Structure 1
Amino acid sequence: MKYWIRKLVICIFLLYNWLLGTNYAAANQLANNDVPPFHAITAMENIASADNIFSDSRREDLRRFREIVKATEKLEGLFTLYRSHEDGRTYWEIKPEQLNRNYLATVTLESGLGESGIYSGLPLTDFLFYFRRVNNNLHFVVRNVKFRTEEGEPEQRSLTRSFSDSVLYALPIDTIDPWSKNILINLDDLLMQDFPGLTPILKYSLQADYRLEPSKSYFGDINSFPENLEIDSIYGFYSPEGANLVTLPDSRALSLKVHYSFSQLPENNGYIPRIADDRVGYFITAFQDFSHNHSHDPFVRYINRWHLEPSDPNAPLSPPKKPIVFWIENAVPLEYRDAIRAGVLMWNQAFAKAGFQNAIEVQQMPDDADWHPADVRYNTIRWFNSLDAGFAKGPTRVNPFTGEILDADIIVDANMVRSIQQEYRAYAESGNSKSKLDGCDVAGFQRDSELCYGREATNQAAIGALALSLLPDTTPTSAAMQEYVQQYLRSLIAHEVGHTLGLRHNFHGSTMLAPQELNNTEITHSKGLAGSVMDYLPVNIAPQGVEQGDYFPGVIGPYDEWAIEYGYKINPEATTDAILPEAEKSFLEKIALASPQPELSYATDEDIWDINPLANLWDMSSDVLIYSQWQMDNARVMWERLDQRYLAPGESYSNLRALFNRVLGYYFRNATLVSQYIGGQSFRRVHAGDETSWAFVPVSLEKQRQALAKLQEYVFAEDAFNFSPQLLNQLAPSRWQHWGNPIPNDRLDYPLHDRILQFQSRVLRSLLNSDRLSRLQDIELKTQPGKALSIPELFETLQQGIWTEVFTPAEPKPISSLRRSLQREYLNILLEMMLRNTNTSEDGRTLAWYELRQLQTAIDNRLKDLGENIDISTLAHLQVTSDRITKALGIRD
């Protein structure tokens, strides 16, 4: 009898709920036999007299709730939403058990402007949040995860009052269901305001005041799934003055689409955080642990990594239970998809050594996919177009409690490949049967280490395409250029995927091979072109007389394999009891102890402050002096080939000017790499007891002297830059002036003196800046007497080389205009030091005074020797230099 009574009550209750258009918790209790028969009868009686048992306000809530659920579309999932297609209103339902519970919010700029840092696919923010009810408001609160203590510790009571969460919004509660206590809020109150903080971003990037206009803003697609809620918001902005934008038809008004993912945070899924080690480069999740006050370091640091579990824990090589799957967005051009796939799958080599077979998979997003690329459930590789971006980025979304990576979306600007293709097409189309000639720091929301391969990466790829065209003295075939692009894109994607696996940059990775090994494909195809693809690697252009090898890495390097082993290898001695991160310390230490091996060298963003010549951007090989000399020699050959060729009829001379500038920039970038040896010190993140006991090792005196000699030869020497009048008279600027292609407001002809002096001055001033001089002085205390480059030797070497015409008497001849410009700049630097216009040390000032006296004496003696056998420009140059020194020394005295 009890059974039939219960079933009758359930039927009546469900019928009532069906009329209301919703299900109540009480019905679930009845269905689960949680309510005894007499309580069930009471519940049935309450249903029948609902209007009598509620107060007026509760009856109004019930009426309001009925109206909403009847007039809207119900979207069920992690959160239930009610959406009206008549007035556009959307209501978010929060159940009592969803209050004060952690959820993850990820916000992505889905559509951008294509210029000035506002690009499609950029991540805006991600954070942990929870809902909290306070009277008639629902607070949207960002959780503070920076400070923690163990459960049961007394200090747990003080944390909440010591540090604050961030209450972003207090949302008015629209109505509360009297039965289930479910809360409804109007989604407009939360997301139809500047939730992602676009207004300050637009002000910073566009230098204009844009304001959100609610009347031009609305919701796009909304989908609720069992573990996540996905929402598109389209925001309209207006500025009376507008901004200096060329991609908009009218810059006073713009629209941006923002995609929101609100997802359930994984809990009790078996993931064990892994302790970080500064010898292995991972992004980290750090917090201050107040339960370990005895520790010398109050911070706990977990590496960011995916949750990989072997399907067979006893096998040395096992597929994961759940692989990491990347989807190639259906917007990626067909011709690039194979290279992207190969770049992703390169990392399976590392995971295999860590015990995982096919840890990463790649799938193609169908053209008719019913899911969104920004959906937090999918890891994607996305393609976007812009006017000026030229970068790729590989961000991740991470559980801020554990460091578990939950989602990754790589974005690639089409310009990174388009520029290569355009240069090749211009070159191939500009020639004839006799001779052919090539015709051919990024704004963003965050300026951090994740923003990779910007403008310089594009320049490197373009210079490689140019070298492919000019150095062999033959036009490359279409197949050769296609292979080049595939190599470049594969390497680019491998770098970004490395970031999404948790790895930071490794700017020491390029030093693995000797210069003579760089083009030996037997080595580069097996061991790799570099120790790590996480470096900023330049295009590998073979020197003259050497057969070209790989332009870009085709396999990951030894450091990459080792880093993945540290992050993902399963501890074979782990037991079900060893679930704390600290239990893995000895296991991880054994892996990290390999760090002193040269091929495992690691240096990241904060390690590259002009101190370590082997930890740099865009360098290659274990001897950068040799490598950079090769590349500067290649640049000189490319100039010669440009000079020897001619443009096809109708071809614009502006193409030649663009190429000349590109090669000049490449030349001076390599010269800058050479300058890093002066006062340089290698830095390794070694620990006490490692095989290499010193953290710092100064560059040898021999190497520093070699570097100074190379700079004199390739940067400061009289014959360092020789260009024919024919070439210089063909360096015409582009004459197209329209949106996206403005004409620069500078000289019409090519400013050769200004351009060369700009580069020479940059190198010279870096050699004599106060930081480098201080390092040189310190290194004298770190080495044996006579084994360090002294500041006096640096001054004397530069002065003797730059003022050779004065200090090394020879047949009287004019000092060229390029040399006069360089000599004036050197004079200016010494005068600034001596007159205290810089923060140079007193020793530096004293030596500047001494060198000026030596220079004045040498000039005066040279003037006496030359007599009238000298041109007026040289005579005036020497006389005014002597006069300036005299006046400066007089002021000083």
Structure 2
Amino acid sequence: MKKSFVFLFISLFLFSLCDTACGQEDTKKKKSESKTAETAKKPAAKSVSKYDKLFDKKGHIATTGGFMTLHLVDGKLYFELPLKYMGREMLLASTASESSNPMLCTNGYKAHTPRHIKFTLEDSTVYMRSVNAALDCRVNGERGKLLKEKNFIEPMLEAYEVAAWNKDRSAVVFNVTSLFTGSDADLSPVNDGIGKLTVKASPQKAGIKLDEIKAFEDNVMVSTWYAYRVSVSQGRTPVVTDAPLTVKALRSLLLLPEDRMRPRYSDARLGVFLTDKQSIEEEGSQMRKYSLANRWRLEPQDPKAYKRGKLVEPVKPIVWYVDDAFPESWKKPIKKAVLRWNQAFEKIGFKNVMQVRDFPKDDPSFDPDNLKYSCIRYIPSTVQNAMGPSWVDPKTGEIITASVIVYNDIVKLIAQWRFTQTAQVDPRVRAQVMPDDVMDESITYVIAHEIGHTLGLMHNMGASSAFPVDSLRSANFTKKYGTTPSIMDYARFNYVAQPGDKGVKLTPPDLGVYDEFVIKWLYTYFPDLKNADEENKVLEKWVDEKAGDPLYRFRKQQMLARLDPSAIEEDLGDDPVKAADYGIKNLKYILKNMNNWITDDPDGSYRKSLYNTLVSQYARYLQNVIYNVGGIYLTDVKDGTPGERVQPVDREVQRASLKWVLKQINDCDWLNNKEVTKHFGPDMAMSARVQNMAIMALFKAGQNVVLASHISNNSYSLEEYCNDLYDGVWESAIANRKVTQGDKIMQKNMLAMMKSLIKPSSNNLLGSLLGGISNEVGSPSWDEVELYGLYDAVTEKESIEEMSSLGMTEQEKINEVLNSFGFGYGYGWQRPVKTDIIDETLTNYCAIGVKLRTLLMGKAMNATDQSSKQHYQAMLFMLMQMMDGIKL
């Protein structure tokens, strides 16, 4: 009974708990239903994506094209890059579009070679990688894959965290502000140097600001303002420190084509710019170095008509845009220079390849600083220069874009050239202002030369040596050929033509036979050939057929060493001595008449500039002849075809050249025409400067004599060279005549050089003295150098055109020097050859010292005139001081 009661009590208790719980649950349910009903009446909270959080802000700017979208917000720049472009190759380049100093920063010019890059996406990070384009792995299968993956991966340059995905997840967004506001040296718009001056530009963070963004079908552009502090130095000597510079830099990112152009292998017997490559071959083969010719992609719109020999339009013409900042009178000759090259393309079946237009006024997509457009740009600077750099697809050598940079005072240089080289036969140039027809034909020549660079042609400094000197006085010959077989030479104008020569052409040809041949080799389209190897067999045969013909000979510019007297700048004809004799006659005639021809020059400043150019022209004639002494002709020759790779200049030509220069040193007082120079103010006589230059250049030639005599079967020996120098320098003492200014300069310099050899010091005098006069295109004018505080640092003028046209960084210049030199390889520059092991210069000068001591002892005591006697006494004192303690 008791147990039954307890059980009943527990049952009732549990039932009550259950009822309470059920009641509470019902209450909760009702409340929940009530809340749900209330919630249903209110709108749901909106989910905000990362993409919207980034860009749904006031001040957000976006621009989109067919390539990608750019976003600028809160001072930050974002790429919205579609996934389909991940892994695609691109070029990234930096160009100055505005600057506060045109000498340090050239608008429209890419101071550094564009970066070859691509973006890859891995997990939540986008990597910017440098494309490994120099390697061509020709190993197939698993081994080839292994080689690439383990040894030639593409290095990472930057890493960017993915900030968001777009709405359909077809593109990623990442912050690239640092790429466009950073201080990467290879993206700097500032020039690395000015002639021999080194420029170091340090960006100031406070002055960096993103500006405009643009997006187009296959490229995007971002402009950034930079404030720099710039220091300029020559060697270790500071010239300018912390000068302010403001630049608006425009950076372009251009998508490279997926359908790559068929490459064309180089041939070192033709002067074309190159893209160097190396390949890993199949098993058992060595790694191979080779080069691709740089050229535009030129394909016919109608291949069948092209094959039938019809003139056809190209699929993609080469279009040039002319800066609207040019003086109006310049535009016509500039356009004529561009179109001139069509005559070469028409000979290989293409018409209207070269096209030229003004800067468009009504095209919002056009921007002259865009990597996509090729422009001819005007630079308001007193620099006397023009240059034609181009930039290529590193995989194939396809030229993607190019520029021609023209500095304002190129016209000043043209006027000086025309006067000093042709005034003897052309009355039109005997004035301070060149007439329009002269200026037009000269501008056309200069721009056509630069356009040649942009088509892939290097300088051919040996072209003009193909013509006999006397042929340049022939009206019939010069009308047909001009002054040179190639406008890519530095032949300039006809300084050989004499007063009275009638109808002689004074300018280079419109295009030379060599130029047209190189265009044929570069751009002929082969519809029936399957690949580059098949094309190469045909092209190589074309060059073989021209081997031995001087009209088609290529001799490269000598940048690091001067060995070949036929491959130098500013020369004409095959005989430097004969050409110089004609040129000097003309300079004497011009100088004699300068005051009569130039009359509107009250302060004499224009005549002084012409006079300085005339003196430099004379000095160049001497230097051209000096290159014969120890000269070695260098020609790229394929085995089995005519020609010699290395051929020393004939010994009698070397000897005659040395004696000719020694004679000129004592016969150049005509330079000191007081009727002309009296207008210039006090200065040292130019004859003394030229004499000093010439004798030191002759001493320097001894280094080449060592090499030339070493490799020659009938050499002009170093001993003969030294004896001829001794006889010429000390001829006044040997012949017992009165010493001249030229004698004194030669003799003092010889003793100074001997001292540097016998008792070398840390500051080697020979090294400091052995420098010629350089007056190349491209140097800043003295006025501009002085304007920027650089006058004292610049000791000689120097061309910047060659390296600039290559678009090289300093490391690339070094790499270029290290390239192989030979058939089918990168051209490189001719390097100096070390000859110290076989060099007997010191021995020969010690022997000269012994002879000279005996000679001077007699002359110092017995000279007939007091001036000569005192001079010889001083020379003897210097010699004895030098030889003190040395047993001879």
TM-score by length of 2: 0.78
The structure-2 alpha-carbon separation of the partners of 1:259 and 1:695, relative to structure 1 and needing over 3 Å to count, comes to same
Superposition pairs for residues 370-385 of structure 1, below 5 Å?
370=364, 371-385=366-380
The structure-2 alpha-carbon separation of the partners of 1:394 and 1:820, relative to structure 1 and needing over 3 Å to count, comes to same
The structure-2 alpha-carbon separation of the partners of 1:382 and 1:519, relative to structure 1 and needing over 3 Å to count, comes to farther
Take 1:137 and 1:621, find their aligned partners in 2: how far apart are those partners?
63
- 1:288 is paired with a residue whose SS is strand
The structure-2 alpha-carbon separation of the partners of 1:571 and 1:474, relative to structure 1 and needing over 3 Å to count, comes to closer
For residue 347 of structure 1, the aligned residue among 341, 359, 368 is 341
Counterpart of 2:117 in structure 1 is 129
Superposition pairs for residues 455-494 of structure 1, below 5 Å?
458=413, 461-466=415-420, 476=430, 481-494=435-448
- 1:605 is paired with a residue whose SS is coil
The structure-2 alpha-carbon separation of the partners of 1:400 and 1:853, relative to structure 1 and needing over 3 Å to count, comes to same
Counterpart of 2:782 in structure 1 is none
Counterpart of 1:286 in structure 2 is 276
- 2:885 is paired with a residue whose SS is helix
Query: Are 2:733 and 1:806 aligned?
Result: yes
Counterpart of 1:772 in structure 2 is 704
Instruction: Output one character per residue of 1:77-104: Cα deviation in whole Å (capped at 9) or x when no partner.
Output: 21122345xx565432012222222222
What is the deviation of 1:68? Answer: 6.1
Take 1:142 and 1:356, find their aligned partners in 2: how far apart are those partners?
36
Counterpart of 1:562 in structure 2 is 517
Query: Are 2:573 and 1:621 aligned?
Result: yes
Query: Are 2:176 and 1:149 aligned?
Result: no
- 1:289 is paired with a residue whose SS is strand
Counterpart of 1:305 in structure 2 is 295
Counterpart of 2:309 in structure 1 is 316
Query: Are 2:640 and 1:689 aligned?
Result: yes
The AA in structure 1 aligned to 2:99 is G
Select between 155-164 and 96-105 the one with higher mean Cα deviation. Answer: 155-164
Instruction: Output one character per residue of 1:577-607: Cα deviation in whole Å (capped at 9) or x when no partner.
Output: x1x3112232112112023211111111358
- 1:106–1:397 CA contact under 8 A, matched in 2: no
Select between 299-308 and 652-661 the one with higher mean Cα deviation. Answer: 652-661
Take 1:477 and 1:678, find their aligned partners in 2: how far apart are those partners?
38
- 2:623–2:694 CA contact under 8 A, matched in 1: no
Instruction: Output one character per residue of 1:82-135: Cα deviation in whole Å (capped at 9) or x when no partner.
Output: 345xx5654320122222222222322222344443211211331221122345
What is the deviation of 1:243? Answer: 11
- 1:640 is paired with a residue whose SS is helix
- 2:672–2:686 CA contact under 8 A, matched in 1: no
What is the deviation of 1:664? Answer: 1.4
Counterpart of 1:712 in structure 2 is 662
Take 2:490 and 2:296, find their aligned partners in 1: how far apart are those partners?
24
Take 2:613 and 2:420, find their aligned partners in 1: how far apart are those partners?
9
Take 1:792 and 1:656, find their aligned partners in 2: how far apart are those partners?
44
- 1:139 is paired with a residue whose SS is strand
Unaligned residue ranges in structure 2 (runs of 5+)? 1-42, 235-240, 767-835
- 2:94–2:252 CA contact under 8 A, matched in 1: yes
Counterpart of 2:722 in structure 1 is 795
Query: Are 2:128 and 1:140 aligned?
Result: yes
Take 1:314 and 1:413, find their aligned partners in 2: how far apart are those partners?
43
The structure-2 alpha-carbon separation of the partners of 1:72 and 1:325, relative to structure 1 and needing over 3 Å to count, comes to closer
- 2:88–2:256 CA contact under 8 A, matched in 1: no
What is the deviation of 1:675? Answer: 0.4
Counterpart of 2:226 in structure 1 is 235
What is the deviation of 1:560? Answer: 1.1
Take 2:374 and 2:257, find their aligned partners in 1: how far apart are those partners?
17
The structure-2 alpha-carbon separation of the partners of 1:484 and 1:611, relative to structure 1 and needing over 3 Å to count, comes to same
The structure-2 alpha-carbon separation of the partners of 1:216 and 1:610, relative to structure 1 and needing over 3 Å to count, comes to closer
The AA in structure 1 aligned to 2:842 is R
What is the deviation of 1:713? Answer: 2.3
- 1:518 is paired with a residue whose SS is helix
Take 1:569 and 1:238, find their aligned partners in 2: how far apart are those partners?
49
The AA in structure 2 aligned to 1:553 is P
Take 1:855 and 1:70, find their aligned partners in 2: how far apart are those partners?
85
What is the deviation of 1:827? Answer: 2.5
What is the deviation of 1:472? Answer: 6.3
The AA in structure 1 aligned to 2:306 is P
Instruction: Output one character per residue of 1:769-816: Cα deviation in whole Å (capped at 9) or x when no partner.
Output: xx223124314xx32xxx432222222222222222211245xxx323
The AA in structure 2 aligned to 1:539 is F
- 2:56 is paired with a residue whose SS is helix
Query: Are 2:841 and 1:844 aligned?
Result: yes
Take 2:44 and 2:590, find their aligned partners in 1: how far apart are those partners?
89
Take 2:528 and 2:691, find their aligned partners in 1: how far apart are those partners?
63
- 2:441 is paired with a residue whose SS is helix
- 1:112–1:120 CA contact under 8 A, matched in 2: yes
Superposition pairs for residues 181-200 of structure 1, below 5 Å?
181-195=170-184, 197=186
Instruction: Output one character per residue of 1:355-376: Cα deviation in whole Å (capped at 9) or x when no partner.
Output: 3233222222234553111223
Take 2:186 and 2:526, find their aligned partners in 1: how far apart are those partners?
43
Take 1:573 and 1:198, find their aligned partners in 2: how far apart are those partners?
42
- 1:292–1:298 CA contact under 8 A, matched in 2: no
- 2:160–2:176 CA contact under 8 A, matched in 1: no
Query: Are 2:817 and 1:826 aligned?
Result: no
Counterpart of 1:91 in structure 2 is 78
Take 1:879 and 1:710, find their aligned partners in 2: how far apart are those partners?
28
Instruction: Output one character per residue of 1:668-688: Cα deviation in whole Å (capped at 9) or x when no partner.
Output: 111000001111121110111
Take 1:212 and 1:200, find their aligned partners in 2: how far apart are those partners?
11
Take 2:697 and 2:432, find their aligned partners in 1: how far apart are those partners?
39
- 1:242–1:253 CA contact under 8 A, matched in 2: no
What is the deviation of 1:274? Answer: 1.0
Take 1:217 and 1:757, find their aligned partners in 2: how far apart are those partners?
52
Take 2:427 and 2:443, find their aligned partners in 1: how far apart are those partners?
25
Instruction: Output one character per residue of 1:814-849: Cα deviation in whole Å (capped at 9) or x when no partner.
Output: 323342122111232234334467769563222212
Structural RMSD (CA): 3.4
For residue 335 of structure 1, the aligned residue among 319, 329, 338 is 329
Query: Are 2:516 and 1:531 aligned?
Result: no
The AA in structure 2 aligned to 1:149 is C
- 1:121–1:382 CA contact under 8 A, matched in 2: yes
The structure-2 alpha-carbon separation of the partners of 1:261 and 1:830, relative to structure 1 and needing over 3 Å to count, comes to same
Counterpart of 1:699 in structure 2 is 649
For residue 81 of structure 1, the aligned residue among 70, 91, 101 is 70
Instruction: Output one character per residue of 1:836-885: Cα deviation in whole Å (capped at 9) or x when no partner.
Output: 6776956322221222222333333445654xx312x2111112323433
- 2:514–2:552 CA contact under 8 A, matched in 1: yes
Take 2:619 and 2:848, find their aligned partners in 1: how far apart are those partners?
27
- 2:263–2:398 CA contact under 8 A, matched in 1: yes
Query: Are 2:501 and 1:546 aligned?
Result: yes
Equivalenced residues, count: 755
- 2:198–2:232 CA contact under 8 A, matched in 1: no
- 1:679 is paired with a residue whose SS is coil
Take 1:513 and 1:144, find their aligned partners in 2: how far apart are those partners?
45
The structure-2 alpha-carbon separation of the partners of 1:117 and 1:591, relative to structure 1 and needing over 3 Å to count, comes to farther
Take 1:485 and 1:842, find their aligned partners in 2: how far apart are those partners?
50
What is the deviation of 1:718? Answer: 5.3
- 1:104 is paired with a residue whose SS is strand
What is the deviation of 1:139? Answer: 2.1
Counterpart of 1:266 in structure 2 is 257
- 1:892 is paired with a residue whose SS is coil
For residue 592 of structure 2, the aligned residue among 599, 617, 640 is 640
Instruction: Output one character per residue of 1:10-69: Cα deviation in whole Å (capped at 9) or x when no partner.
Output: xxxxxxxxxxxxxxxxxxxxxxxxxxxxxxxxxxxxxxxx999x9x9xx64254267269
The AA in structure 1 aligned to 2:308 is A
Take 1:474 and 1:322, find their aligned partners in 2: how far apart are those partners?
42
What is the deviation of 1:413? Answer: 0.9
- 1:146–1:287 CA contact under 8 A, matched in 2: yes
Counterpart of 2:852 in structure 1 is 855
The structure-2 alpha-carbon separation of the partners of 1:602 and 1:113, relative to structure 1 and needing over 3 Å to count, comes to farther
Counterpart of 2:11 in structure 1 is none
- 2:113 is paired with a residue whose SS is strand
Larger Rg, first or second structure (1 or 2): 2
What is the deviation of 1:282? Answer: 1.6
